[in-house]
Structure 1
Amino acid sequence: MKTGRSSHFSELDGMRGILAVLVMLMHYGLNTIVVRVSHGEIQRGLWELSVDFFFVLSGFVLARSFARSPPNLGRYAIRRVLRLGPLYLLTLFVTLACGARADGITLIANVLIVQSLIGLDSINFPSWSIPLELFLPALGLVIVTRWQRWPRVAMLATAMLCLTGAIVCSTSLALEHDMRLLRAVFGLGLGFVMFRLVGAHVSMLGGRPVLTGIGFACILLIMLVGSRFPMATVLFPPLVVVTIATGATTRGLMSTAPAQALGRWSYAIYLVHIPVLLLAQQILGEQVVGRNPVFKIVLAGLALGVAWLCHRFVEVPVARLSSSIVASPMRAEAT
């Protein structure tokens, strides 16, 4: 983690990048390789648990941001919509242009970024988590402004509730029952409460790259074997908590330049890889793309390149615009 007033957790950013790549590889046929390597012992990896890590990490980072400089709901909405919306909408329309289909209500809900809140499908299907990441933290903002009055026992009880809920959701996913809304609620909630309980002491938990690395390796192992041994997923949320808490001020393997690059591009990787896959299928045909593992590797490299372009020419300029828009009312209030 950079010191001072930086809002970036370098080790955690790198982990986020690796997990985004795993989500991409899952959709590009990673489980086929897992089946072959394990001789059929492991039929599929639970790579979608990456999103549960994202939820907890988002809750932790947002709680820290809200506690340091609480925005009002209006400024939060502007910053969050500008952070998540442009690339989401760009990839949505590219997905539609590549042949994806949806009924009128689903299309409208996707354009408004509310589909997951009302139980509808996401057209660019990895983006199901984006409406939940957009709207649910607003409740966290309200809570952060009041939680200093909460007794510690209430915070501990809330933490245990969120941790238990996250464990139930991860185990349920291993048993092929996906409770997406609850995964978001408990994951974001766990991140928020975790910051409240350990945020002031996070510097004392850091500086342990070996412990953080072991925690992240165990997370990846559970994702690999979770479908074969569902009860192993009981350990997933506690390991996420420990890894984030110790990794917040740690610099290790995930703080190296390649992992940091993936971390910067992680949101773009998460959203662009399906449009890239659909476009390749339209140009070359599903049979060619689906049966050629070498081409899938090339496609993954192409998706990373597109993600870099989207980060450089969409996310970065919009982030600057967001900062200028949010800063203007604050300067006006100060005069």
Structure 2
Amino acid sequence: MSTPHPRVLAFDGLRGLLALAVVLSHVAALTFLPGRTQPSSFDYLLWHFGAPAVDVFFVLSGLVVARSYVRRPALWPYLAARLRRLAPLGLLGAVLGLGLARPLAASLPADLAPHGLLPILTEPLTGLDLQGVLTLGLGGWFEANRVNPPLWTLAIELYASALLPLMVWAARRWGWTALLISLPLAFGMVFVFWPLMVMPLFLLGVLLALQPPQVPARLLPLVGVLGAGVLLCRHVLGSDDAYLRWLTALGAAGVLLALEGLQPAFFQQRWAQWLGERSYALYATHFPVMVAAVWLGWNSIGVTGSGLLAVPVCLLVAHLAHHLTQGRSAQRVPRLLPEVSHD
């Protein structure tokens, strides 16, 4: 029988800051995407907060969901609970993308921000896109940038949730060797279905949960600083290469080890916990709100200015979405299955 693991409040606070980092990176993505044009220094700084934040999300998800699963390793209740956790906000984000972001983006001047995500929102949707977005990726991969860009990671979360029991088995059987085995497998499968290339990040989180390295307390600050440096190396390298995630995931692991061991008060403050509780809602709903802000304000304060001013509105919408899908009103709905994770 596994010993229950206490909830790590520092992880909750970190989750909120990660979601905010993604929001800020999408302010830059309104006008800049790598390979399309040279970014300004401001765009460069903001853009490279997004990918590291997502990398930490993936590793953290593997960690906390694995701990929850091993406490109650019933497969079907686990899968149903994960779907219940991810689907409501994911579908809300899809509805906001289809009903708000796309129509408003289509009404903006075509040359307003030609190198960012706005023109992509006006591209025609395929049948596979619609099938994928309405099933959150389970019915087939879709180009989330044409609907609501953050939804691509939600689909990957669902794939990882389905594979997590296998990851737990592999971690228990082979320990950290499982991570080495997963890398060539992921590299080979990328040519069949590219989202599988990020599954080692979730497996890394599973290993942190089941086979955590024993780091002396005096070394935890150094591990955290080095981890943050590796995690943010994109700001130095300027690279958006997807395989760089395999390296930055190690930085994410160092940050998570340090936070769990040190429990810094900064991440446990009330505002950080409030933000952490609403992190998934913020992640799923912020981009359509940002597009609406651009639609309202581009002519007076520009695209980037509108995106920045949208951030407080995104927080408000996330608060409302959180209460709609996860708050007390949602909890009044009878639940036949236990919660599996608070990630």
TM-score by length of 2: 0.73
Whether the 8 Å contact between 2:49 and 2:232 is mirrored in structure 1 is no
Residue 315 of structure 2 aligns to a residue whose secondary structure is helix
The C-alpha deviation readout for 1:45-88, integer Å capped at 9, x for no partner, is 2622321211111111111111122122x212221111111111
Of 52, 55, 58 in structure 2, the residue corresponding to residue 55 of structure 1 is 58
1:90 is matched with: 92
Partner of 1:331: none
1:11 and 1:254 in contact (8 A); partners too: yes
Q: Distance in 2 between matches of 1:219 and 1:112?
A: 35
| Stretch deviating more after TM superposition (316-325 or 297-306) | 316-325
1:16 is matched with which residue? Answer: 15
Which residue number in structure 2 is paired with residue 324 of structure 1? 335
Out of 270, 276, 291, the residue aligned to residue 257 of structure 1 is: 270
Query: Does 1:270 find its partner at 2:275?
Result: no
Question: Match for residue 142 of structure 2?
Answer: 120
Q: Which residue of 1 aligns with 2:115?
A: none
Shift of 1:130: 0.9
Task: Give yes or no for contact 1:219–1:236 (8 Å, CA) kept in 2.
Answer: yes
CA contact (8 A) 1:17 1:260 kept: yes
Q: For residues 31 and 162 of structure 1, do their structure 2 counterparts lie closer, same or farther at Cα, with a shift above 3 Å needed?
A: farther
Letter in 2 for 1:19: L
Cα offset for 1:319? 6.7
Judge conservation of contact 1:24–1:273 (CA < 8 Å) in 2: yes
**92-101 vs 126-135, which moves further:** 92-101
Letter of the structure 1 residue corresponding to residue 251 of structure 2: L
Structure 2 residue runs of 5 or longer lacking an equivalent are: 33-37, 103-123, 188-192
Are the equivalent residues in 2 in contact too, given 1:215–1:239 (CA < 8 A)? yes
CA–CA separation in structure 1 for the residues paired with 2:179 and 2:282: 31
Could you tell me how far apart the structure 1 residues matched to 2:13 and 2:261 are?
A: 13
Q: Deviations along 1:133-185, whole A, 9 cap, x unmatched?
A: 1232222224535764x2xxx3232123457889x8xxxxxxxxxx9613431
Identity of aligned residues (%): 25
- CA 1:99–1:36 in 2, change beyond 3 Å: closer, same or farther? closer
User: What is the count of residue pairs matched by the alignment?
Assistant: 304
Amino acid aligned to 1:320: Q
Letter in 1 for 2:158: L
Which residue does the alignment assign to 1:176? none
Task: Find the counterpart in structure 1 of residue 319 from structure 2.
Answer: 308
In structure 2, do the counterparts of structure 1 residues 182 and 12 end up closer, same or farther at CA, with 3 Å as the change threshold? Answer: same
1:190 and 2:210 matched: no
Check the 8 A contact 2:23/2:311 in 1, yes or no. yes
- Matches of 2:44 and 2:292 in 1, distance apart? 33
Report if aligned partners of 2:227, 2:255 keep a CA contact under 8 Å in 1.
yes
Distance between the aligned counterparts of 1:63 and 1:54, measured in 2? 14
Aligned to 1:120, what secondary structure does the other structure show? Answer: coil
Amino acid in the other structure paired with 2:322: H
CA distance in 2, matches of 1:276, 1:229: 25
SS at match of 1:45: helix
More displaced 10-residue stretch of structure 1: 76-85 or 22-31: 22-31
**Equivalent residue of 2:65, what SS?**
helix
SS across alignment from 1:8: coil
Letter of the 2:156 counterpart: L
Instruction: Give unmatched runs, 5+ long, in structure 1.
Output: 169-178, 329-335
Contact 2:227 2:250 in 1 (8 A): no
Q: CA deviation at 1:301?
A: 1.0
Q: Label 1:228 to 1:108 Cα distance change in 2 as closer, same or farther (>3 A).
A: closer
Flag the structure with higher helix content.
1
Q: Quick one: distance in 2 between partners of 1:318 and 1:285?
A: 34
**RMSD in angstroms over aligned alpha carbons?**
3.9
Offset of 1:243 from its aligned partner? 1.8
Deviations 1:262-295 (A, max 9, x none): 211111111111110122234x2655464452x4
Q: Which moved more, 1:314-323 or 1:14-23?
A: 314-323
Q: Secondary structure at the match of 2:262?
A: coil
Cα separation, 2, equivalents of 1:60 and 1:108:
30
Q: Secondary structure at the match of 2:263?
A: coil
Measure the CA separation in 2 of the matches of 1:229 and 1:251. Answer: 31
